[in-house]
Structure 1
Amino acid sequence: MVAYKSKVVERIRLPSREQRTRALDEAGYNAFNLAADDVFVDLLTDSGTGAMSDDQWAALLRGDEAYAGSSSFDRLESAVADVMGFERVVPTHQGRGAENVLYGTLLSEGDVALNNTHFDTTRAHVANQGADPVDCPIPSAHDPDADEPFKGNFSLERARAVVDEVGAERVPLVILTITNNSAAGQPVSVENTRRVRKFADEIDATFVIDACRFAENAAFVTRREDEFADATVAEVAREQLGHADALVMSGKKDGLANVGGFVATDDEDLFERCKQRAILYEGFPTYGGMAGRDVAAMAVGLREAVEESYVEDRIDQVREFGAMLAAAGIPVYTPIGGHAVYLDAGAMLPAIPADEFPGQALVCELYREGGVRGVELGSFAFPDSDRPELVRLAVPRRTYHREHFDHVVETAEAVLERRDELSGLEIVSEPAVPELRHFSATLSPIESEAVTAADGGME
């Protein structure tokens, strides 16, 4: 059941195929370089792209823009305490600002950070401190067809092997990302969270939860973990987050805001250290690089994120979108995650080898065919990894309707029908930081025999 109605609409247009082809070429075959006005259905990310509620818009107008001691911060602090259970909050301009503050405080040269799976900016912030980001996913996380309820879980077997190899003294940080974005938005169980907490205590490490999609994760727990079958999303969220020493949060996901983030902890010493680093990089500790109105909107969004009507509708919409794609014969990662549907580009474009980036080729063809923008999360985004070749179609919150998803499905079907005509890509230029190359690298098509034949031959 849809839990809201539209009050404001935005007109969108589908550029012609010729315009889309030209835009793709000018963007260097990188969807991040496309102008938003040239995109018809934008599924690049769910980060800060959703529609805010009327209560959030009202909070914007009531925002307190005081440099210090803002009442908007008081409302955020109260929301974090009530919803997430932490009393001390350091606001930042967005999630990567929170990562900089927390991981810059906790990590030093030569350290190792363990995570169920590091996402791009998390990996980059760990590496930027001279530390080594090590992923500890469970084996089924890399199997798009495995039918398990919590494929986002942290592998304690893998983590203990790393500790045995490098020594516990080199592992000051254990991170649990919920839901596990790099593993197709798969949820993490509360039982796994408890076990990770115990493991972190065993090696005397700080246990951090990346809580960007904590409410979506809690909704999956109520559906899939028997202990919590009768619990509310809000109750599960408090239980799960309560096992951490600190949280890193992007308010642009389950804060339901267009900007913002924070670090939260009950550790007074860690709080003070983070606060001092935040002053250097983010701003005064009661605004953290945000306008007071945005702080106020995020405070409202945190409370809305754990409302049953909202989060159930959110999970069901993404699940239905995935079912539509699967029914059309499009290979998708299953079970469907919380914030996105992940297409299995390796299965969809089997003739394109990994070193020619089949996922990025699929991203480009979805745009060329129907003006649909997604993002590759395979060998292009994560070089030197053994992850599957995935394309993420992230669903902005409270934004798109059934007709938009119908268009995406029709676009994917058209791409699938002519997959034998498609060729891979090669990198033309890339930044010095490999963890972030998919944001700005440029590529060009590799001319293949199939494409040459389809074009009637080349002179």
Structure 2
Amino acid sequence: MNDHAIEYPAEPWKIKSVEPIRQTSRPYREQAIRQAGWNPCLLRSEDVYIDLFTDSGTNAMSDRQWAALMTGDEAYAGARSFYVLERAVRTYYGYEHVIPVHQGRGGENIVSRCLIRPGSHIPGNMFFPSTRAHQELNGATFHDVVIDEAHDPSSDHPFKGDVDLAKLAAVIGEYGDAIPYVSLAATVNMAGGQPISMANLAAVRELTGRHGIPIMFDAARAVENAWFVKQREAGWGDRSIAEILLAMCSFTDGAVMSSKKDSFANIGGWIGLRDGELAERARSLALLYEGLHTYGGMAGRDMEAVARGIEESVEESSIRARVGQVEYLGHRLLAAGVPVVRPIGGHCVCIDALAVLPLLPREEFPGQTLAAALYVEGGIRGVERGGLSAGRDPVTGENRYPPMELVRLAIPRRVYTRAHLDMVADCVIRVHEERDRIKRGLRFVHEPSHLRFFQARFVPADGDSIFGG
């Protein structure tokens, strides 16, 4: 097998129910993207053939998860389903205090309100848009302390989610008591789904421990991170995914979980904490923003589905097939010369838009432009991860341009087949081969204040199309 070839893994499941999707014509798609303001997020899902906008809440639940829905206890207070969820989180993630929320973003809001004060500084291994938005809205400044390789799409570093300990030490040295916690993600979304190593987690724990600084964990894709640890890090190859997951979390003081990722659920999340006093404060805020502390914005049936999904997520056959699908698509693109982030990540393949469209200025959003072109070409919906997602500096109001400008193709779990992924690859390869047809980028006609990539609208920077002319 050469460096750009990979076998497609046989799925550890069979199909029991299907949902029709439809292919549309190119003229139809050109009209649809115009009506959506050249923003794939604003397209109707019925106009999308293969939807790789996100792997969050778009997964296929198992028959056992669907069966668990029927056992949901919908009592307002003290529902049995909460204790089922609590037991699953304690068993597989190890956090004593479990507070359900409607999704990860709800947990980010509560943790930020509990811990952040105006003037706070938060170091982390690369920003994520919603996480940083909550931090900034509560008065904090985010500091990126990820290793430099994370910003280099061509680097093959196996753990590009690692923290640069010298960078972290410098932030601690400068801001000290103004740091309420260190924010760590596994895997790092904006770097293309790149993992953090156990050795680095231990080193960060040792450094922060000396200064009494807690670590808060984004655990949404921690199971995928555990898989990479098992495959790539010495000393962990003979450990189970469940064992590695529990060991990862042991280095942290708390976590925010979007159960819409690793746990296969369509909605739901939780906050996991070790500190009882902090947990009480978080429960009080959950009452205000989410719901009672034993349902947190979720129905009982959803808590049952999440609990079952947690158990399924650590099954080795499941995570092997999940990551294998992503690798298959990534290596097909690499073999065709498409510039993508390497190594291939856990949940997505990210196309390097700056390499594909080097002549487009950053202020015309090459990533957004390329995402629109992929939709027009084949009905494929991805999402920009670059200057548009980075937003504006809250102090200067200037656009932030991170080193990488990507189009992320996030693959939902247990949803698409090899034929679908081959169609995606063929579409991306065609666009790359005919990239000279993309003559211009996009400019705003509507720019929201927060998380602008979701609702922004654009027009071509010159003319009525990004193509030709």
Give the TM-score normalised by the residue count of structure 1: 0.96
How far has the Cα of 1:450 moved from its partner? Answer: 11
Structure 1 alignment gaps of length 5 or more: none
Q: Secondary structure at the match of 2:402?
A: coil
AA aligned to 2:264 is L
Name the residue aligned to 2:328.
320
How far has the Cα of 1:34 moved from its partner? Answer: 0.5
Do 2:362 and 2:401's aligned partners in 1 also have CA atoms closer than 8 Å?
Answer: no
How far has the Cα of 1:428 moved from its partner? Answer: 1.5
Do 1:119 and 1:182's aligned partners in 2 also have CA atoms closer than 8 Å?
Answer: yes
AA aligned to 2:404 is P
For residue 16 of structure 1, the aligned residue among 13, 16, 25 is 25
Shifted more, 295-304 versus 149-158: the winner is: 149-158
AA aligned to 1:414 is R
Q: Give, in whole Å, the separation in 2 of the partners of 1:385 and 1:115.
A: 18
How far has the Cα of 1:275 moved from its partner? Answer: 0.5
Provide, for residues 94-125 of structure 1, a one-character-per-residue CA deviation record: whole Å limited to 9, x for no partner: 00001111121011111011110120100000
Name the residue aligned to 2:452.
437
Q: Give, in whole Å, the separation in 2 of the partners of 1:449 and 1:441.
A: 17
Q: Give, in whole Å, the separation in 2 of the partners of 1:114 and 1:159.
A: 7
Name the residue aligned to 1:41.
50
Name the residue aligned to 2:214.
206
Q: Secondary structure at the match of 2:65?
A: helix
For residue 377 of structure 2, the aligned residue among 369, 377, 385 is 369
Aligned residues: 451
Name the residue aligned to 1:229.
237
Tell whether 2:406 aligns with 1:386. no
Provide, for residues 115-151 of structure 1, a one-character-per-residue CA deviation record: whole Å limited to 9, x for no partner: 1012010000001101112211100001111111101
For residue 70 of structure 2, the aligned residue among 36, 47, 61 is 61
Do 1:172 and 1:204's aligned partners in 2 also have CA atoms closer than 8 Å?
Answer: no
Q: Secondary structure at the match of 1:227?
A: coil
Q: Give, in whole Å, the separation in 2 of the partners of 1:418 and 1:318.
A: 24
Q: Give, in whole Å, the separation in 2 of the partners of 1:14 and 1:201.
A: 54
Q: Give, in whole Å, the separation in 2 of the partners of 1:156 and 1:70.
A: 44
AA aligned to 1:17 is R
AA aligned to 2:114 is T
RMSD (CA atoms): 1.4
Counterparts of 1:240-319 in structure 2, within 5 Å, are 240-319=248-327
Provide, for residues 351-379 of structure 1, a one-character-per-residue CA deviation record: whole Å limited to 9, x for no partner: 21222111111000000010000000011
Q: Give, in whole Å, the separation in 2 of the partners of 1:218 and 1:371.
A: 33
Tell whether 2:90 aligns with 1:81. yes
- Identical-pair percentage: 47
Tell whether 2:329 aligns with 1:347. no
Provide, for residues 7-30 of structure 1, a one-character-per-residue CA deviation record: whole Å limited to 9, x for no partner: 000110012111111110111111
How far has the Cα of 1:329 moved from its partner? Answer: 2.0
Q: Secondary structure at the match of 1:187?
A: coil
How far has the Cα of 1:163 moved from its partner? Answer: 2.4
Name the residue aligned to 1:410.
426
Q: Secondary structure at the match of 2:235?
A: helix
Do 1:421 and 1:450's aligned partners in 2 also have CA atoms closer than 8 Å?
Answer: no
Q: Give, in whole Å, the separation in 1 of the partners of 2:163 and 2:444.
A: 33
For residue 133 of structure 1, the aligned residue among 131, 134, 142 is 142
Counterparts of 1:94-243 in structure 2, within 5 Å, are 94-165=103-174, 167-243=175-251
For residue 461 of structure 2, the aligned residue among 441, 446, 449 is 446
Relative to structure 1, the CA distance from residue 366 to residue 198 in structure 2 (aligned partners, 3 Å threshold; closer, same or farther) is same
Name the residue aligned to 2:102.
93
Do 1:210 and 1:249's aligned partners in 2 also have CA atoms closer than 8 Å?
Answer: yes
Name the residue aligned to 1:425.
442
Relative to structure 1, the CA distance from residue 349 to residue 448 in structure 2 (aligned partners, 3 Å threshold; closer, same or farther) is farther
Give the TM-score normalised by the residue count of structure 2: 0.94
Do 1:328 and 1:409's aligned partners in 2 also have CA atoms closer than 8 Å?
Answer: no
How far has the Cα of 1:203 moved from its partner? Answer: 2.4
Do 1:420 and 1:450's aligned partners in 2 also have CA atoms closer than 8 Å?
Answer: no
Name the residue aligned to 1:356.
364
Q: Secondary structure at the match of 2:73?
A: coil
Do 2:460 and 2:466's aligned partners in 1 also have CA atoms closer than 8 Å?
Answer: no
Q: Secondary structure at the match of 1:427?
A: strand
Q: Give, in whole Å, the separation in 2 of the partners of 1:451 and 1:93.
A: 38
Q: Give, in whole Å, the separation in 2 of the partners of 1:92 and 1:129.
A: 19
Q: Give, in whole Å, the separation in 1 of the partners of 2:107 and 2:368.
A: 29
Q: Give, in whole Å, the separation in 2 of the partners of 1:386 and 1:31.
A: 21
Relative to structure 1, the CA distance from residue 18 to residue 161 in structure 2 (aligned partners, 3 Å threshold; closer, same or farther) is same
How far has the Cα of 1:451 moved from its partner? Answer: 6.9
AA aligned to 1:410 is D
AA aligned to 1:400 is Y
Do 2:447 and 2:457's aligned partners in 1 also have CA atoms closer than 8 Å?
Answer: yes
Name the residue aligned to 2:394.
none
Q: Give, in whole Å, the separation in 2 of the partners of 1:236 and 1:28.
A: 44
Q: Give, in whole Å, the separation in 2 of the partners of 1:377 and 1:33.
A: 16
Q: Give, in whole Å, the separation in 2 of the partners of 1:451 and 1:430.
A: 19
Do 1:351 and 1:420's aligned partners in 2 also have CA atoms closer than 8 Å?
Answer: no
Shifted more, 242-251 versus 352-361: the winner is: 352-361
Q: Which runs of 4+ in 1 moved over 3 A?
A: 448-452
Q: Secondary structure at the match of 1:62?
A: coil
Tell whether 2:412 aligns with 1:396. yes
How far has the Cα of 1:448 moved from its partner? Answer: 7.4
